[in-house]
Amino acid sequence: MVPGLVVCLVICTRLLVVAGARPPAMYVFGSSILDVGNNNYLPGAAVGRANRRYNGIDFPASSPTGRFSNGYNIADYVAAAKNMGFACSPPAYLSLAPNSSSGPLVLTALATGVSYASGGAGILDSTNAGNTIPLSKQVHYFGATKAKMVAAVAPRAVDAHLSKSVFLLGIGNNDMYVFAAAELARNTSAADQRRNAAVLYASLISNYSATISVQPSSIWPSQIIQKFAIINVGLLGCVPGARVLSPVGACWGRLNELAGGFNDALRPLLAGLARRLPGLAYSIGDSFGFTRDTLADPRASGFADVAAACCGSGRLGGEAECFPNSTLCDDRDRHVFWDRAHLSQRTAFLVARAFYSGLAKYTVPINFMELAQSS
Ligand SMILES: *[C@@H]1O[C@H](CO)[C@@H](O)[C@H](O)[C@H]1NC(C)=O
Ligand SMILES: *[C@@H]1O[C@H](CO)[C@@H](O)[C@H](O)[C@H]1NC(C)=O
Ligand SMILES: *[C@@H]1O[C@H](CO)[C@@H](O)[C@H](O)[C@H]1NC(C)=O
Ligand SMILES: *[C@@H]1O[C@H](CO)[C@@H](O)[C@H](O)[C@H]1NC(C)=O
């Protein structure tokens, strides 16, 4: 077992006795921005993993847990926000995956929720196929979790639990990376780019929609209420791994354009679903806008470096992953980016705070706190 997991299983229980409208649990779906260790359990050398130092250097006991961060990630800080009341993200599903007994999985689900997020995951099954848990499979795993809960507890109690729980979803970044890299390799014309991007958005949005309004409806809490806290796709073109494509380290404009286009389609998708599904409550956190504003005025948030990875190698630390032989920056809290594709712990904290209860411009139509407390 990964050492950090022991730490997390111990500390990630409810901090306080719960009163009022606090959600009983959080269920997490998405990519590496939210993964807390699922990928540690996937077989194969090509799986993206963060189970080695310097990942986790600022986590308790400096444990590399599988989080793509020097410490905690966005899922941890949303879970730990006031009125959520958890110590950190719920644990990785595959760390609980029951070989024989379903006891640990059901108990954990009821006490804190479960995380299905997986580094490299896409909305499309084809994104990084074979080396991740794609969104469709994450939802399938949630369905399996729910079936075990129903077998252990009265179905109505499970529905009541799930209808008050928060479902955190952050995915789409890897679909964009894969698409943009393919486009770059093919040297396609502007007209073809527009046409291909339109096809991409259509399939992403249709899969996203199918995930949230999934049939059979027995998977999500039936007909009652579903609370989705959604993180849109970030400013991907400005991560160190994208900047190294530019001789001067500039952001990769095309990748940002693709991410922005997807985010523009996400808002009307959710608004439309909410009209169609009366029980659906949601909040979209604008990761793209928050990062853009942070990069425009980094000193306002205490950052000194907005371009280079803290842990990496080559130009801007963006040419390789964070390995034990990487160079490490001196002041991790002053870097927006931890490695070539991920935010530092401090940025993750600021993002989560912005979405939970920050400026209204970073969430639509309500913030994560209002979502968590809604009934
Ligand atoms: C499940 O079984 C596999 C192989 O038998 C083992 O490696 C793994 O640690 C087990 N997981 C748990 C949670 O017991
Ligand atoms: C890409 O295609 C354009 C014409 O469509 C051509 O002018 C250009 O040289 C090509 N670039 C590369 C890197 O192949
Ligand atoms: C998602 O898109 C893929 C195509 O990449 C398709 O095969 C699959 O059926 C879609 N899944 C859902 C749930 O719509
Ligand atoms: C650092 O470690 C990685 C992974 O083991 C390896 O691929 C890479 O070549 C190493 N780099 C150097 C400069 O030794």
pTM of the model: 0.91
Ligand 2: residues with CB < 6 A are 187, 189
Across residues 325-332, what is the average pLDDT?
Answer: 95
339 in active site: yes
Kindly state the average pLDDT of the residues 192-203: 94
d(CA 102, CA 96): 9
- Of the residues 31, 32, 118, 287, only one is catalytic, namely 32
Residue type at 176? M
Structure confidence at residue 97 as a pLDDT band (50, 70, 90): confident
Q: Which of 19-33, 114-128, 191-205 bottoms out in mean pLDDT, i.e. has the lowest?
A: 19-33
Residues with CB under 6 A from ligand 4: 323, 325
Nearest CA to ligand 4 atom 11: 325
Q: What is the pLDDT of residue 227?
A: 92
If one residue of 184, 186, 187 were mutated to test the ligand 2 pocket, choosing by the most ligand atoms within 8 A of its CB, it would be 187
Tell whether the model's pLDDT for residue 266 goes beyond 50. yes
User: What gap in Å lies between CA 256 and CA 238, rounded to an integer?
Assistant: 8
How confident is the model over 1-33, as pLDDT tens digits? 333 333 444 445 444 444 457 899 999 999 999
| b/e code 191-210 from CB counts within 10 Å (16+ = b) | eeeeeebeebbeebbebbee
- Please name which ligand lies nearest the alpha carbon of 319: 4
Considering every ligand atom, which ligand is closest to the CA of 311? 4
pLDDT of 365 reads 97
- Span 258-282, mean pLDDT? 93
209 is known as an active-site residue: no
Nearest Cα neighbor of 280 from 199, 205, 225 is 225
Q: Which of 316, 302, 162, 296 is nearest to 239 (CA)?
A: 316
Give per-residue pLDDT as tens, 39-91: 999 999 999 999 999 999 999 999 999 999 999 999 999 999 988 999 999 99
Ligand 2 centroid to residue 186 C-alpha, Å? 9
Q: Is 136 near ligand 3, meaning CB less than 6 Å away?
A: yes
Of the two residues 278 and 346, the one the predictor is more confident about is 346
In the reported structure, the alpha carbon of residue 250 is separated from the centroid of ligand 1 by a whole-number distance in angstroms of 45
Atom of ligand 3 nearest to the CA of 136: 13
Residue whose CA is at the smallest distance from ligand 2 atom 12: 187
Question: Torsion angle, CA of 83/4/174/355, rounded to 10 degrees?
Answer: 20
Residue nearest to atom 1 of ligand 2 (CA): 187
CA gap 24, 21 in Å, rounded: 9
Atom number of ligand 2 nearest to Cα 187: 1
Spell out a b/e string for 246-273, using b for 16 or more CB atoms within 10 Å of the CB, else e: eeebebbebbbebbbbbbeebeebbeeb
Atom of ligand 3 nearest to the CA of 209: 14
DSSP character string of 131-183: SS--HHHHHHHHHHHHHHHHHHS-HHHHHHHHHHSEEEEE--HHHHHHHHHHH
Residue 216 has what pLDDT?
A: 46
- What are the tokens at 318? 């963006």
Task: State yes or no: pLDDT of 98 exceeds 80.
Answer: no
* CA-proximal residue: ligand 2, atom 9 (nearest): 187
Considering every ligand atom shown, identify the ligand nearest to the alpha carbon of residue 324 and give its number: 4
- Report the C-alpha gap between 305 and 295 in whole angstroms: 9
Q: In this structure, which residue's CA is closest to atom 7 in ligand 1?
A: 41
205 alpha carbon – ligand 3 mean position (Å): 10
Mean pLDDT for the chain overall: 90
Catalytically annotated residue among 69, 163, 342, 344: 342
35, 161, 339, 344: which one is catalytic? 339
215 versus 140: the higher-pLDDT residue is 140
pLDDT in tens, 131-140: 999 999 999 9
Q: Are 230 and 172 in contact (CB under 8 A)?
A: no
Cβ–Cβ under 8 Å, residues 222 and 159: yes
Ligand closest in space to the Cα of 43: 1
Q: How many Å lie between the centroid of ligand 3 and the Cα of residue 82? A: 37
What are the structural domains of the chain?
Answer: 3-373 (3.40.50.1110)
